[in-house]
């Protein structure tokens, strides 16, 4: 769902729906997202009830239409985990997940537009102030400490995420993660500009009170990002993605039998959760 802004409310919803292999996310999606939206726009009682109903409906749609595909994907992944993955395979998986995200966002856009149309001026002002605080926090996070310290934190964070799947990494494997971080182009200023643009455009859209225009505008901001994002930033994102694909492919070639078994157990646990959710 490190989330902020109206964009991030939608991203959080899409993430919780798309991360269907966690039963906890499913069990708590409606109250969690209602609480998040309330924090941004200060919903009144009728709006909260409406939002809960729409979120429940979105979860039912996802359960019926998306979970079976996730289960097939994970079962195929479990069957292939005993061999290394190529960079092309990692990239293909990323593109598939991105397509899943886009599909979920498309599904919830009409509900998001209807919610935005119903906001009054007090709630829009509340959202605008929240946006400002989010940008201030992001700026602080992106500039906290020296560049070396920020990169070290990034390595530690990525190692932790990988180890959730593989178990403990050895020094050679940690070096592969560190090598990725060392070549990543800095995108701090671009991220700040990106955040400010999305938030500003979202506020403009909300004030139109036009459902169709809001849906089209949010689609542009959330899905069709290449239509407005600066070419230099797009190029940096591609470079960062390519470095991640290389890292994951390289790590997959170094996994021990014990680590591969750890990955397989993790995947099979998600498959089991999906089976229970779908049932």
84 DSSP 8-state letter: P
Question: Mapping DSSP to helix (H, G, I), strand (E, B) and coil, where does residue 167 land?
Answer: coil
The pTM score is 0.87
In sequence order, what are the residues at sequence separation of 6 or more whose Cβ sits closer than 8 angstroms to the Cβ of residue 88? none
Integer Cα distance of 160 and 276 in angstroms: 28
* Tens-place pLDDT, residues 199-222: 999 999 999 999 999 999 999 999
Radius of gyration of the chain, Cα coordinates, nearest whole angstrom: 20
Tokens read off for 15 = 């993430």
Summarize the confidence of residues 263-276 as an average pLDDT: 86
Q: Tell me the pLDDT tens digit for each residue of 233-255.
A: 999 999 999 999 999 999 999 99
State how far the Cα of 12 lies from the Cα of 27, in Å rounded to an integer.
Answer: 15
Short-list 63, 51, 1, 7, CA closest to 191: 7
pLDDT number for residue 20: 43
Q: Which pLDDT score is estimated for 26? A: 76
Q: Indicate the average pLDDT of the chain.
A: 88
Q: What is the pLDDT of residues 31-57, one digit of tens each?
A: 988 999 999 999 999 999 999 999 999
Distance between CA atoms of residues 137 and 102, nearest Å: 27
């Amino acid at each position: 769902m490190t989330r902020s802004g109206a964009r991030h409310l939608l991203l959080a919803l899409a993430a919780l729906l798309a991360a269907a292999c966690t039963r906890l996310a499913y069990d708590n999606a409606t109250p969690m997202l209602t609480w998040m939206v309330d924090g941004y726009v200060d919903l009144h009682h009728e709006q909260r009830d409406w939002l809960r109903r729409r979120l429940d409906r979105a979860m039912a749609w996802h359960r019926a239409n998306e979970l079976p595909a996730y289960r097939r994907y994970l079962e195929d992944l479990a069957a292939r985990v005993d061999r290394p993955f190529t960079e092309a395979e990692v990239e293909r998986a990323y593109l598939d997940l991105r397509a899943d995200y886009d599909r979920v966002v498309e599904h919830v856009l009409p509900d998001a537009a209807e919610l935005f149309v119903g906001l009054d001026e007090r709630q829009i002002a509340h959202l605008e102030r929240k946006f400002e605080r989010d940008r201030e926090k992001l700026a602080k996070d992106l500039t906290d400490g020296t560049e070396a310290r920020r990169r070290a934190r990034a390595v530690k964070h990525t190692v932790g995420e990988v180890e959730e799947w593989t178990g403990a990494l050895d020094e050679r494997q940690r070096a592969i993660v560190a090598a990725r971080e060392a070549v990543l182009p800095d995108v701090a200023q671009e991220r700040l500009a990106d955040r400010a643009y999305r938030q500003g455009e979202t506020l403009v859209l909300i004030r139109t009170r036009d459902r169709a225009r809001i849906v089209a505008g949010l689609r542009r901001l959330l899905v069709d990002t290449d239509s407005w994002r600066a070419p230099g930033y797009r190029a940096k994102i591609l470079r960062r993605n390519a470095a991640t694909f290389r890292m994951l492919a390289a790590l997959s070639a170094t996994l021990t039998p014990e680590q591969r078994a750890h990955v397989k157990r993790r995947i099979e646990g998600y498959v089991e959760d999906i089976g229970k959710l779908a049932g």
